[in-house]
Chain A
Amino acid sequence: MLKMTRRNALIAGASLTLLGVLAACGNNDNAGNNAQSGDSSGGKKPTISATVYDRGTIAASEGTMEKNRWTKWINENGPDNVKFTAIPRTESKQKLNTLFASGSAPDLIFEFDPNIKNPLYDQKQLMPLDDMINQYSTTYKKLLEDNPILKQVSTKSDGKIYEFGKLNEAIPQFIIVIRQDWLDKLHLTMPKTTEEMYQVAKAFTEQDPDGNGKKDTYGLNMGPGLGDIFGGINLSNSYTDENGKLVRTWDNFEEYIDFAKRLYDGGMIDKDYITDNNGAKANQDFLNGKTGMFLVQSNYSFWNKLWISDYKTLQTNSPGAKLEIMPYPKSPRGQFINWINNPVQLTAVVNRNAKNPEAVMKYVDFLSEPTTGRTLTNGIEGVHWEAGPTSCPNPIDQEKNKTELGYLGQDYNMIFSVVSGGKCSFTASSFNPDKPDEKFAKDKFKENMDIFYNMIDQGAKFPGLTHLEHLPSVPQDLLVDFQNANTEINNLITKAIVSGSKITPDSAVADAQKLWAKFNGAKLDAFYQEWYTANKDTALMPDDIFQIVKDQKATQDEILK
């Protein structure tokens, strides 16, 4: 017996030794890597660390997101030696939380989602930036001076700046396109109100607009922006200001449910829309020429996707298809504008433990330079692009650029403002008018902008209190309630839409109000009210958004003329 235990002890001991050896190997591996990345630092430049999104789209021949031709370019041409940490794009919350919790977060963190960054501010993990900007910055400082709204928005509740940000193009994020050929065929006109929209949807569904003798068409898809037509149905955003008091706009919900319910009952939308959570089926229906009115995302590259590649596919599948842009119809709740791309977007924060704020600031300044912005978007002149007819970059070899630039996106220069880049960084400049399909996309873009400006001039309202990214994050103690309220109320809305005459829109809203009350709605309302009272003059509100649209109009007009 004793002998046996000794043997076992021996085995245990041997295992432990083995474990130790293995661990030591792990250590060595690590040290080796660190030394390696240290080697690449050129000369006396200070070293900082920064995050970059990893989307899994970089080719092996280009290297990794941490080390490729562009990180090399940044380190050669920039003021610092930047050591990148890749953050998996769709798991950035998890990754950043672990990095912060373990004290190994990089100095400069690029992140879009305010719901990831706001808690970091609450936990005092972030460095105030005022001193850095005042002492070390030139380019970014000037950007703040020229655009006071950016400074306003990046100032947090304690009166200090905590985030770097950028100005974006203020353009519609979602639009509706309508099958003009179907309208013509059925002798209908472009709907101007939601009631007319309903009638057109009914005709599109019942009168066989594609002429195949089958009732297989839909009036529209349950796409992005449908709720916005009724003033917005997002729980954190559906408030209206009545003499400084926030009042929840439950009527929006009621009108929306009523509209969607009638569509559903009449078979004008896909009965299976609930299971189509990423819109893939709706997109297929549209491309197959089955959808009359298509609600679709329209900013950035989505514009080209819609008007160049998807339009071509649609016309192959459904010869004679003709699309027109349909301005958002007027609903019983009033006339609302399309959801607008966030024009002032906060995208970077600095770790409180950053060792060298000066170097971080210098790097941010470097990223704000027009030439840096251009290079990290379009590549290098003469290699990836040459000046086109509008003196804006035109790609030389699209295949080559796909590999060498495809993974760039805006991921290395997330703080580059559209105003710094001048007219060439506007979407409209990216179209090459020498190519017919791009010229067409450009014409449509102009048409859309004209509709957009016109609607704002006519007093169309913003669908919600303000842009979602500019609302405060719900505090931790109310977060679970808020999330539950959100889930349950949205389930309730869906249920109301699909269950026929059993649930009426007003009883659904009454139930939603009960749920809101059950999940501490009163406290949540008070939280938003408190924030609104304190911040309504400094936060980005719809009036500011419309002002930015107007400020950018001259540039847009110049490009689109």
Chain B
Amino acid sequence: MRESNGDKITRIVISVLLLLISISCLAPVINILSISFSGKQAVETGKVLLWPVDFSTQSYHTLFEGTRVLASLWNGVVMTVGGVIISMVFTICAAYPLSKGYFYGRRTFTLMLLFTMVFTGGLIPTYLVVKSLGLIDSYWSIWMPGAVSTYNMLIMRSYFEGIEPEIEEAARIDGCKEMSLLFRIILPLSMPVIATLILFYGVGYWNNFMNVLIYINSTEKYTITVLIQQMISSQSLLTETLANDTSALDIVPEGIQSAGIIVLILPMVLIYPFLQKYFVKGVMLGSVKG
């Protein structure tokens, strides 16, 4: 089919618009990247826009040698990988039975889970529970209370429900029991939703800030998100005359903050492309069949 001129123009306008929008999303990131590779003076005088001025890797040197960024980067990886594994196991364990019409009390269990989406225990009571379980200062305090996100579990349940029942019947006729059905049929067919949820959980754990701050006491176990957040908000001490901090001498320079931000987002930026092809498919399928 041939495109009319009107269609062409529309297409071009849309493309240009989308291009502009993507540039406006990308520009701040490029700006941060350029700042992190620029000389100190150029940064202070605001000369850096989208290309490094006085190219220098000094910020990264200072960041890697002068702070605990590597240790906390590793902590972030441990917390994220551990968390994703735990969350995925439990989410699958919850979603699979709930996707089966013959599961006894399915409605009650679903309602109970939905209840947690509306009401939470509050910060202090949750803290006390975590504390009495003896989990303070270990990553279990972050992994366990948030092991299953109800929302993610529902996405997965909907996906399972959408798998053709004929496939399941065929497997059963061939002698497949419940467990092997899950592992050999359902899960391999659910790669899109699994990849999507790995991404959801992964980003969630990676960006987790408040829980790490509250539940983890040893700075040795702080994750990179907490470290970088600390560096960036140190700036705010300047503007608060009330918190008359006699030793606020180390306001972390902008170049080092930017280098920190780059290190912080890099792992996620690297992982995204690999999961993206599943990502869109997974979310869409889940939502339509909800």
A residues contacting B by CB (< 8 A) are: 1, 4-5, 7-8, 11, 15, 19, 22-23, 25-27, 29-30, 33, 54-61, 64-67, 85-86, 88-91, 94-95, 98, 101-102, 104, 112-113, 115, 168, 173, 224, 277-281, 283-284, 287-288, 297, 300-301, 310, 313, 316-317, 339, 341-342, 345, 402-403, 406-411, 414, 468-469
The yes or no answer to B53 lying at the interface (CB within 8 A) is: no
Measured CB to CB, the closest approach of chain A to B287, in angstroms, equals: 27
The one of A7, A30, A345, A414 in contact with B136, judged by C-beta atoms closer than 8 angstroms, is: A30
Whether A30 and B219, one on each chain, are in contact in the complex, defined by CB atoms closer than 8 angstroms, is no
Q: Which residues of A contact B249 (CB under 8 A)?
A: 300-301, 409
B252 near A112: Cβ-Cβ < 8 Å: no
- A56 contacts B123, CB within 8 Å? no
Q: How far is the CA of A456 from the CA of B237 in the complex (A)?
A: 28
With A27-B134, A95-B214, A297-B238 as contacts: A409 and B233 at CB distance below 8 Å: no
Q: How far is the CA of A85 from the CA of B136 in the complex (A)?
A: 13
Nearest first, the 6 closest Cβ-Cβ pairs linking A and B are A409-B247, A26-B140, A284-B46, A56-B230, A410-B247, A90-B233
Q: How many residues of B contact A (CB 8 A)?
A: 69
A283 partner residues in chain B, CB cutoff 8 A = 44
Evaluate contact between A60 and B68: CB separation under 8 angstroms: yes
Residues of B within 8 A of A55 (CB): 230, 234, 250
Q: Do A341 and B66 touch (CB < 8 A)? A: no
Q: Which of B160-198 contact A (CB under 8 A)?
A: 178-179
Residues of B contacting A224 with CB < 8 Å?
241
| Shortest Cβ distance from B177 into A: residue | A7
A85, B103: Cβ atoms closer than 8 Å: no
Q: Which residues of B contact A22 (CB under 8 A)?
A: 86, 140, 143-144
Cα of A301 to Cα of B46 in the assembled complex, Å? 22
Interchain CB contact under 8 A, B141 and A7: no
Contacts of A288 in B (CB 8 A): 45-46
Does B66 contact A11, Cβ atoms closer than 8 Å?
no
Complex contact B236–A345 (CB within 8 A): no
Q: Which of B131, B136, B235, B250 gathers most chain A CB within 10 Å?
A: B250
Query: Smallest Cβ distance from B146 to chain A, in angstroms?
Result: 14
A409 touches B218 (CB 8 A): no
Find out whether the CB atom of A1 lies under 8 angstroms from the CB atom of B104.
yes
Residues of chain A within 8 A (CB-CB) of B138 are: 26, 29-30
Across the interface, name the chain A residue whose C-beta is closest to B210: A94
- Among B210, B228, B230, the residue within 8 A (CB) of A89 is B230
Inter-chain CA distance A342–B242, complex, in Å, is 10
Residues of A within 8 A of B229 (CB): 90
Residues of B within 8 Å of A406, CB to CB, are: 66, 250
* Known interface pairs A168-B246, A300-B246, A317-B45; A98-B123 also in contact (CB < 8 Å): yes
Bound-complex Cα distance A279 to B240 (A): 12
B90 at the interface (CB under 8 A from A): yes
Interface string of B27-47 (1 = CB under 8 A from A): 000000000000001001110
Tell me which residues across on chain A come within 8 A of B230, comparing CB atoms: 54-56, 88-90
Contacts of B214 in A (CB 8 A): 94-95, 98
Query: Does B135 sit within 8 A of A, measured CB to CB?
Result: yes
Known pairs A102-B131, A297-B238 / 4 extra A-B pairs, C-beta < 8 Å: A58-B67, A65-B219, A345-B246, A469-B244
Residues of A with C-beta under 8 A to B69: 60
Known: A64-B219, A316-B41. A5 touches B140 (CB 8 A): no
Q: How many Å lie between the Cα of A362 and that of B41 in the bound state? A: 46
Q: B246: which A residues are within 8 A, CB to CB?
A: 112, 168, 300, 345, 409-410, 414
The reply to whether B103 and A94 form a contact with Cβ atoms under 8 Å apart is: no
B102 within 8 A of A: yes
Minimal beta-carbon separation of A145 from chain B (angstroms): 23
CB contact between B70 and one of A60, A85, A310 (< 8 Å): that residue: A60
Interface residues in B88-145 (C-beta closer than 8 Å to A): 90, 93, 97, 100, 102-104, 123-124, 127-128, 131, 133-138, 140-141, 143-144
Q: Is the CB of B250 within 8 A of A23?
A: no
Given contacts A90-B233, A279-B239, A469-B244, contact A4 B41 (CB under 8 A): no
Q: Which residue of B lies closest to A34 (CB)?
A: B137
Q: How far apart are the CA atoms of A463 and B144 in the complex, in Å?
A: 52
Known contacts A23-B144, A33-B137, A278 near B238 by CB under 8 Å:
yes
Q: Give the complex CA separation of A104 and B134 in angstroms.
A: 12
Looking at B230, B234, B252, the one whose CB has the most chain A CB atoms below 10 A away is B230
Residues 44 to 62 of chain B near chain A (Cβ within 8 Å): 44-46
Q: Is B199 an interface residue (CB 8 A)?
A: no
Q: Does B7 make an interface contact (CB < 8 A)? A: no
A102–B250 contact, CB under 8 A? no
Q: Would you call A56 and B67 a contact (CB within 8 A)? A: yes
Q: Which residues of B sit under 8 angstroms from A67, Cβ to Cβ?
A: 220
Contacts of B103 in A (CB 8 A): 4-5, 8
- Does B243 sit within 8 A of A, measured CB to CB? yes
Complex: how many Å from CA A542 to CA B144? 54
Chain A nearest CB, measured from B70 CB (Å): 6
| B135 A60 Cβ-Cβ under 8 A | no
Question: Are A278 and B178 within 8 A (Cβ)?
Answer: no
- Indicate whether A86 sits within 8 Å of B219 (C-beta atoms), given known contacts A11-B93, A102-B124, A410-B247: yes
- B213 lies within 8 A of chain A by Cβ: yes
**Would you call B213 and A94 a contact (CB within 8 A)?**
yes
Distance, CA A281 to CA B137, complexed state (A): 40
CA distance A29 to B252 in the complex (A): 33
Instruction: Please indicate the chain B residues that have their CB under 8 angstroms from the CB of A339 in the complex.
Output: 241
Indicate if the CB atoms of B233 and A98 lie closer than 8 Å. Answer: no
Chain A residues in 8 Å Cβ range of B243: 112-113
Q: Which chain A residue has the least Cβ–Cβ distance from B240? A: A113
